[in-house]
Amino acid sequence: MLMAGMRAINWWCAVGVCAALALLTGHAANSIAQSEQGASPDKTAGSSDAAPIYGIKIPAGYRDWQLIAVDQLLVAGKTDQLRAQLGNDTAIKAFKEGTIPFPDGSIIAAIHWTRVPLEENNKVLNGPFPGASNFLAGPVVNVQFMVKDSKKYAATGGWGYADFKDGKPQGKALHETCFPCHVPAKDHDYVYTHYAPVH
């Protein structure tokens, strides 16, 4: 997943999304039409708030997780997104220590927003920095999750995938594109995102 299919850009699943920038290579097309909200990873794949195939719900408190990386997805004339990848404690520890494969219990979240200009800042910046353009995260497009459980998701490289728009899971067809999209990142345990430098 962080999910979407190698469709238009065959993007994330080119999570994180989409490397954060590489993550973009996967999930692009599918994520272009998607959003967010909250609950918790679930074991009951059949409930209406769980993603099809993988049975994943939106993890409670994921917006408080640590930042892994950020990126922008730009598809001329179609998509202009700002994206952030977050990780739970298990995932963050693995990223920091360079642990591959990721340990079971790792969860990676990718939030995608439409990028919009911040006109007020542009007016202020245009004096000292002529031509400066400032942008910010606008409406949420979708939120995606990768959940590591090497036994439960053995058939898909040990990862379960979930894609939510407006707090509701996307359909089965979209979720079927997640794992194939992540296969090119097999050497990094199917994860496109890399930990962003801090200094």
As for how many domains the chain has, the answer is 1
Residue 193 lies inside a defined structural domain of this protein: no
- DSSP strand pairing (66-75 vs 168-169): unpaired
In tens, the pLDDT along 51-75 reads 999 999 999 999 999 999 999 999 9
Residue 110 lies inside a defined structural domain of this protein: yes
Distances (CA, A) of 137 to 16, 104, 109, 182, 187: 16, 31, 16, 26, 31
Residue 190 lies inside a defined structural domain of this protein: no
* Residue 23 near residue 182, CB atoms below 8 Å: no
Residue 50 lies inside a defined structural domain of this protein: yes
Domain that holds residue 109: 34-170
In tens, the pLDDT along 30-44 reads 443 333 333 344 333
* Residue 159 near residue 150, CB atoms below 8 Å: no
* Residue 162 near residue 143, CB atoms below 8 Å: no
Tell me which of 132 and 95 has the higher pLDDT.
95
Number of Cβ within 10 Å of residue 102's Cβ equals 24
Residue 1 lies inside a defined structural domain of this protein: no
Tell me which of 191 and 27 has the higher pLDDT.
191
In tens, the pLDDT along 113-155 reads 999 988 888 788 878 888 888 899 999 999 999 999 999 999 9
pLDDT band at 83 (very low <50, low <70, confident <90, very high): very high
pTM of the model: 0.75
Residue 74 lies inside a defined structural domain of this protein: yes
CATH at 48? 3.50.70.20
Residue 72 lies inside a defined structural domain of this protein: yes
Residue 180 lies inside a defined structural domain of this protein: no
